Chain A
Amino acid sequence: KAGVTQTPRYLIKTRGQQVTLSCSPISGHRSVSWYQQTPGQGLQFLFEYFSETQRNKGNFPGRFSGRQFSNSRSEMNVSTLELGDSALYLCASSLDARAYEQYFGPGTRLTVT
């Protein structure tokens, strides 16, 4: 069974631009979570989606948003990019609303210049 896939793997953007990242969960998984990983702050929870609904959101500004489609694929968007948004963005999938295990994809490395 294929794992979590994320596209693109690498991205370079300029301050003020916006970016959209994509995540396809493990086949059959319906919950998708997003995390930001930086050297200074470590791994931080962004938000989680199940059945196209955002169930929880971490402590990030409104510039960070996401959505989930009926096939469980998810996208996250960051508007008005800042230098501090440079990070590895990780997507994780879980089987359903009650499964505990989360499986991560390889991440998208975003660099903001």
Chain B
Amino acid sequence: GENVEQHPSTLSVQEGDSAVIKCTYLDSASNYFPWYKQELGKGPQLIIDIRSNVGEKKDQRIAVTLNKTAKHFSLHITETQPEDSAVYFCAASRAGGGADGLTFGKGTHLIIQP
């Protein structure tokens, strides 16, 4: 099975509403969980991350929560705007510096309806 499962694969929300994307990981040794936003023709952009010693982190309209016991982590976007439309990826790793490599979810295509 997948080491990192991501749901949903497509999410359509009205502009101004909130969007939530959820991921589950299998490796209990994972301790770093970044989220990336990828726009068409571009590389993934790091938008927020969380480490296993923290339960929640917020940056303006974006927040990430982590439940280590359930091995779940989620991305929350509030007051969505048209520029939030993109593909979002969650990822997990066990070490810093890229030594372990990031394991990615399959991605969520977020569509903001005007």
Given contacts A42-B107, A92-B98, A94-B98, contact A100 B32 (CB under 8 A): yes
Min C-beta distance of A111 to chain B, whole Å = 15
The yes or no answer to B54 lying at the interface (CB within 8 A) is: no
In the complex, the answer to whether A48 meets B104 with C-beta atoms within 8 Å is no
In the bound complex, how far is the Cα of B97 from the Cα of A94, in angstroms?
A: 6
Given contacts A43-B89, A45-B103, contact A103 B97 (CB under 8 A): no
Min C-beta distance of B26 to chain A, whole Å = 16
Given contacts A42-B106, A90-B44, A101-B49, contact A58 B97 (CB under 8 A): no
In the complex, the answer to whether A48 meets B101 with C-beta atoms within 8 Å is yes
The residue from A42, A56, A103 contacting B104, defined by CB atoms under 8 A apart: A42
CB-contacts of B3-22 with A (<8 A):
none
The yes or no answer to B67 lying at the interface (CB within 8 A) is: no
Task: List A contacts of B98 (CB < 8 A).
Answer: 31-33, 48, 50, 56, 92, 94, 102
**Size bracket, chain A contacts:** 20 to 34
The yes or no answer to A66 lying at the interface (CB within 8 A) is: no
Given contacts A31-B98, A48-B98, contact A102 B103 (CB under 8 A): no
Task: List B contacts of A94 (CB < 8 A).
Answer: 96-98
In the complex, the answer to whether B51 meets A104 with C-beta atoms within 8 Å is no
Looking at chain A's contact residues, the main secondary structure is strand
Task: List A contacts of B100 (CB < 8 A).
Answer: 56
Against A, the Cβ 8 Å flags (1 = close, 0 = not) of B23-53 are 0000000001010100001111110010100
The yes or no answer to A55 lying at the interface (CB within 8 A) is: yes
16 CB contacts below 8 A, A to B, read A33-B98, A33-B101, A42-B106, A43-B102, A45-B102, A45-B103, A48-B97, A50-B98, A90-B44, A94-B98, A96-B97, A97-B96, A100-B51, A100-B93, A102-B34, A106-B43
Task: List A contacts of B104 (CB < 8 A).
Answer: 42-44
In the bound complex, how far is the Cα of B95 from the Cα of A96, in angstroms?
A: 12
In the bound complex, how far is the Cα of B44 from the Cα of A92, in angstroms?
A: 9
